[in-house]
Amino acid sequence: MAFLKFLYRAVVAALVIIGVSAVYQNWDRLMFALQGRPAADELEFNRPASDASRPLVVSSDEKVVMEVFDRTHPAVVNIVATTLSMNFWMEVIPRQGQGSGFIIDKEGYVLTNDHVVSRAQDITVTLGDGKKAEAILVGRDPSTDIAVIKIPARFVTTVATLGDSSRLHVGQKAIAIGNPFGLSHSLTTGTVSALNREIRQSETTLTGLIQTDAAINPGNSGGPLLNSSGEVIGINSAIFSLSGGYQGIGFAIPINQARDVATQLIAHGHYAKPWLGIAGLAVTSEMAQILNLGVTEGVLVGDVAPMSPAFKGGLIGGQRELIVGNVRIPAGGDIILSIDGKKVRDMNAVITEINRRKVGETVKLDAWRNGKAVPVEVVLEERPRE
């Protein structure tokens, strides 16, 4: 009898356990049912057909970007620049910085920014196929933030196509490829937001820059900015940021300027930058009225460097100093109205026009002097090296 009672209780206990287990396992189904909602394994989603032959549907704009990437990214490289420094205990500590670049010649020449490789004792390049190559520094120019390095020609599979930045228009598509934060061959898109921008970078003022809203982050420096044809229109160089990251404003060096600098770096190891030899400021309507200048726009020459091309050409600098609105203005000098027939309204425009020329070229300036226009011819010379 005792055994039968025990067996009875065991069977009841087992049934209870099985019931509780069943309820637990289906608790979500029960609760969803009570709430009028299906359980997870009952949900049915619309899924694409599993046919692998079904064509990928992309917009015409997406197709353009995809084709540009496929055609260009093998020419884009990741650059790791290693510098050696001493710590407090006089131990040699290697430090690494990363940037981007792109191959411009089948011989292995790579165009990048000067600030990517400027202090490097060792330069390692990673190509699109993952292969690594040691690079040598061919030449660099801090004043334009452009440098050329070289890898062995056997590593070259694709060469970037260089475009014509003089034909750019605001609103064109801009495509950036680079290695932001070391994330190799990342692509971002945007537009050409503005042209001929000027920024101060370290101890150099860069002029004539392309402004873009294509995302540019640390590590993108030196990479290409491309148009919809896959042509390089600029070298991604800088960002405007309060945080150090992307905030919608990036800048690129126009490829026409970069091409000229790179050609000289490859041929001579340095860049002979054309030099006029003046300092000046933009004429404003207030300034023109107070000083009775006779013109309302142009560049007032404040200082002419001794024995500079401007000095030899006869340009006259300020003769006296006046204060206009708490600003000291050197008065009495020439006002440059145009360079080779192109109007200039500020020093940025003057520098941009001079940078488009070569050492030894003669430029014709229209200057305003003593109430009348005076032609001045200046033969450009190489900027003195620091």
Position 38 scores a pLDDT of 58
* Distance (Å, whole) CA 357 – CA 348: 15
Residues 111 and 101: beta-carbon distance below 8 Å: yes
CA 253 to chain centre: 7
Q: Which of 114, 141, 145, 366 is catalytic?
A: 145
Position 294 scores a pLDDT of 87
Q: Which two tokens stand for residue 279?
A: 């300092």
Position 356 scores a pLDDT of 85
Position 152 scores a pLDDT of 96
Q: What is the DSSP code (8-state) at residue 384?
A: P
Q: Which of 221, 237, 334, 366 is catalytic?
A: 221
Q: Which of 100, 114, 115, 260 is catalytic?
A: 115
Give whole-number Cα distances, 284 to 134, 250, 296, 339, in Å: 52, 29, 6, 19
Residues 64 and 70: beta-carbon distance below 8 Å: no
Residue 245 pLDDT exceeds 60? no
Range scoring the smallest mean pLDDT among 52-61, 144-153, 312-321, 329-338: 52-61
pLDDT tens by residue, 64-112: 999 999 999 999 999 998 887 777 777 777 787 889 999 999 999 999 9
Most confident of 5-19, 51-65, 303-317, 324-338: 303-317
Residue 268 annotated among the catalytic residues of the structure: no
Between 18 and 67, whose confidence is greater? 67
Residue 145 annotated among the catalytic residues of the structure: yes
Strands 173-178 and 186-201: antiparallel
Going by pLDDT thresholds of 50, 70 and 90, the confidence category of residue 205 is: confident
* Distance (Å, whole) CA 127 – CA 76: 7
Residue 33 pLDDT exceeds 70? no
pLDDT tens by residue, 351-381: 888 988 889 999 999 999 988 999 999 999 9
User: Tokens 């020439």 map to which residue?
Assistant: 334
Position 1 scores a pLDDT of 54
Q: Which two tokens stand for residue 96?
A: 């690494």
Mean pLDDT for all residues in the chain: 83
Position 116 scores a pLDDT of 92
pLDDT tens by residue, 138-185: 999 988 999 999 999 999 999 999 999 999 999 999 999 988 887 888
Between 36 and 115, whose confidence is greater? 115
Position 16 scores a pLDDT of 47
Range scoring the smallest mean pLDDT among 16-20, 88-92, 191-195, 329-333: 16-20
Instruction: Sort residue 5 into left (φ over 0), alpha (ψ -120 to 50) or beta.
Output: alpha
- All domains of the chain, ordered by start, with CATH? 72-155 (2.40.10.10), 161-268 (2.40.10.10), 274-382 (2.30.42.10)
Position 61 scores a pLDDT of 86
Position 247 scores a pLDDT of 60
Residue 284 pLDDT exceeds 90? no
Q: Which two tokens stand for residue 180?
A: 């932001």
Residues 218 and 181: beta-carbon distance below 8 Å: yes
Residue 51 annotated among the catalytic residues of the structure: no
What's the burial of 8, exposed, middle or buried (CB within 10 Å: 0-12/13-18/19+)?
Answer: exposed
Residue 335 pLDDT exceeds 70? yes
Q: Which residues contact 234 (CB under 8 A, 6 or more apart)?
A: 165, 210, 212, 224, 225, 252, 253, 254, 255, 258
Position 47 scores a pLDDT of 66
Between 95 and 9, whose confidence is greater? 95
Residue 113 pLDDT exceeds 50? yes
pTM of the model: 0.75
Position 50 scores a pLDDT of 60
Going by pLDDT thresholds of 50, 70 and 90, the confidence category of residue 257 is: very high
Going by pLDDT thresholds of 50, 70 and 90, the confidence category of residue 230 is: very high
Residue 17 pLDDT exceeds 60? no
